Structure 1
Amino acid sequence: MIKNYVLLLFIFVSNSIVSQTSNDNLINNAKKICEKNQKLFCKAFDFYINKEFDSCYVYSSRALVESKSQKESDILNYIQSFSSRKKKLFKKALENLKRISDNPEFIGLKESQLGLIQLHLKNYNESLEHYVKWESLDSLYGSERKLKMDSFHNIGLCYMHKKEYVKAKEYFDKEIELVEKRDTLDIIALKMDLANVYYNQYLDDEAIPLFTEAYNLSKIYSNLELKQNSTYNMAIVERNRKRYKESVEYYREYIKWKDSIWNRDNIIGLAEKDKQIALAQKQQEIVLQEEQLKRQKLVQNGLIAGASGLVIFIGFLGFLYKKLKKQNTLITQQKEDLNIANKTKDYLFSVVSHDLRSPINTIRGKHIELKNHIENNDLPALRAATDAAIAVTESTSHLLNNVLHWSLEQSNQLLFDTKEYALRPMVQHVLHDYATLVEAKGITINSELENVLVKADKESLKIVLRNLLDNAVKYMNREGEITVKTGSYSDTEAYITVQDTGIGIPQEKLDKINALKDLTIDKIDRSKGVGLGLLLCQTLVKKNGGSITFESEVGKGTKITILLPSIEE
């Protein structure tokens, strides 16, 4: 008699991930990507974790378009393949899995899922190829007990469908070694599969008790598919045993469970349709919201662009204003400089016209005297007139030097080089130049010079000293003395004093001279009796960072003190 084989084989499909280590890698990598604020990716992965596979499928598709790295793309393809398998879209699941790279972190997940899907598609050889590859990787990745049980079970199913019952039993035995009493679903499925292995080898004595035990266990388990499968198996077994009455009873029970499953699936299908409608509505709402957000963003970008343009325009106006203001300031400064230059020019012209008129007239008169003395052959008178002409010429030369120095200083053309100098050699050099002149006039120069270091411009100080000595000689009442001293005034200042025994300066004029440090060129009035030489002295001393003061008494002489910044030796 030909045996009617049990046609309905229970395929146990694991919802777990093959490798717990791989699953940890998946979650850890997903968390790192979410830290980079990848919103679509995170939303898709949250739906996967919460087993909302429809939403996971939709959002993973959108996230794949925006994926920025291979690792991100691998994770999205995996969770979409998982969702596709749950939705029985096996070909789509295969497409996603083939796009996953051979990254060691995901290869175990990839191979186990490929084996599972090929089993669903009844491609048993392809399924075994992937499971065998996963089994070789399993030692690298490690798996928890339940996950190994699921994989061994599916491998056994592949061999059983290929009628390689020895290999099938080998993997079912591996599963038995891992099964525990609390794994009721696994025990029932395992007993049915082992029963089928024995039954297809005509080992009824081993198979029938296992079918019966699986049937009895399914009664206390809530899974309708298990109840249907175990009942159907018993109906086939009893029919082959020619126990038709018992077989009919099992068939009736089988039909009852089949109807229950149909009703449940119908309800689930309706619920699924409602869910799909709700999902479609939600997607439409999302699209509308996205369109609204795009419009808002467009308006916002327009406002930002307008505001940016306004800010740039205001900045440009500010730049123009600053530029115009700078130009106006420059024009104002140039106007002031021009006014000062004009006043300086007017002042110098007044000096030249006033101070040169008298000496020129004197020189002209002396020339006439010289001519008369030559005609009369009066040698003593000729000598006296010549000396007088020389003195007037020297005075005029000194005046012209002052005019030149003053003009250069006012136009910032006077060279000014501040360095450290010793006062004594500089003063000695100036006094040596005056030795012949003062000796001819019967004037004695005394000097008490300490070797003090100062920080100043040497040439401008020489101009100051020459002016002071010229004035001392000019206002000396014939014979007299000039005393020049240098030394330390304080820790930070050195002094130069020029004291003479000349006619002195009236108090009123002395006050005006001492007030020169507070005057500017536009306030100077030559009618007040302050000469260009003293004004030049005040200016150059101030430019050297020092000060100059005048002390005088009519009939007794004048003392002039210059203070300059000193340097410690």
Structure 2
Amino acid sequence: MTKYYIYILLVTTSVFSQKTNYLLKTGDSICLESRNEVFCKAIDFYRKQKYDSCYAYSNRALMIASTNEEKDFFNCIQGYSAFINKFYKKALSNVLKISNRKNYSQVKLYLLGNIYLNQQKYDEAIESIETWIFNDKLDDKFLKKAMLHNLGLAYIHKKEYIKAKEHFNKEFTLIPLKDTLALVRAKMDLANVYYNQYLDNEAIPLFEEAYILAKLFSDIELKQYTSQNMAVVERNRKRYKESVGYYREFIKWKDSINNRDRIWELTERDKKLAVAQKQQEIAVQDEKIKRQKVQRDGLIIGSSGLLLFIGFLGLFYRKLKKKNKLITQQKEDLNVANKTKDYLFSVVSHDLRSPINTIRYQHEELKNHIDNKDLVAIKEATNAAIAVTNSTSHLLNNVLHWSLEQSNQLVFDQKEYALRPMVQHVLHDYTILVEAKSIRIESNLENALVKADKESLKIVLRNLLDNAVKYMNGAGEIKVTTGVKSETEAFISIEDTGVGIPKDRLVKINALKDLSIDKIDRSEGVGLGLILCQTLIKKNNGTLTFDSEVGKGTKITILLPSIPV
């Protein structure tokens, strides 16, 4: 296993508390004495942890800095800002310019150790960190624990496992019993030391302990890394079924992190849209005020300037008409955007309410089972929560793709593609999943050239295959066929032996191809995934149809423009 979790503690919060306070006091003193706006803004952005702005202003400050104190200070905060933004070469350049004066020596060693570790210069990192530890006079166990951790990581990469284990054990002694996050990370570190020496009997129990503790902890990234470690361990042990389970957990947590970030971006975009709409209303009001003023001034001129006034008014009217036309178009665009936003919020508020409440209820049950030490009930509650989370993750993926498509941010590039390798790539991703569910996938893929956007077509295929797996009653079969229907059309057919679709719902699904955003009725129970599929296929100049019979399965046919071979 070569999976290392590099945990590098940053200086922005309580780390280096005394030295950080010294830096802030030094910055305030420089600002007060110089009264230089650039200096003051740089230190203010550093205090507020706005490192992009701090980097820019400290760069300007270095151009005009004259004293050694000023140069050391601004090299320090610019180097740290560059480190936070992962500009490691620039960070190293700044830090090496810091003098070795008493007040800066430890800060310099700390930054050098972390920068070299990120640059994979392990000998230099070890030298800097060990010197820092030897000279450390601070009673800060949290900081010392982090530096011991980084030292252990450097020795792991150098394959000096005895020294790595020594430093991880020292780190372990500094971890409070209540600090579950640090305990999990420490166990993973020690496990990696043993595992890289092929000491599986010592390593695997530590991986398992870290995984169990992470399951009970709220940190999603920690759940992601521990489940990934277990997937690799089980794969190497040739326990493929267990490995698949852990790998699916890893994907679930990874998707949760990505979707969380995407939903946050969508919310921020909606805020900006609301601000833009308000600014537009203010602009319209300002335009009305200006028009009233012009009309009033025109009347004061009197009859002697009547002809001039009429000419001016005509010119103004034409400009105003052009602006009103632009405003009307913008209003229509905003209405479409608002309808899309309202629909997305309807999906999120309606479809997420139930699973979120279910997860909350299951967590309460899980807490009670943990208090009662009922392991069987804990496993059942966890499995139920995983199933609900998987469903919710699939919904969030569809919300993301739908929102990107509606806001024209989904990259759409139609080119000539061969159907067979594209469909084979999607089917390959489902092989392990369907085998675990006793579902067999058969494929008869004749090659055909189509003009389409490959990524949006993959999104459609994944949604349709997800539905086929989801509505399969136990074991079953999915048959995927591609070929040429005519000189101008190629087809993709997905046929399953699932539960089928009732006739009334089948009519609504096939009618989706003619719906626009303002005609969608959420009360009809049509899922966002199928709406997204119809939208993307229509954008690819194709058609999507469903044939189904309850109890006998469903056949889905995609027709796309083909190119003669």
Q: TM-score, normalised by structure 1?
A: 0.44
Of structures 1 and 2, the larger Rg is shown by 1
Q: TM-score, normalised by structure 2?
A: 0.45
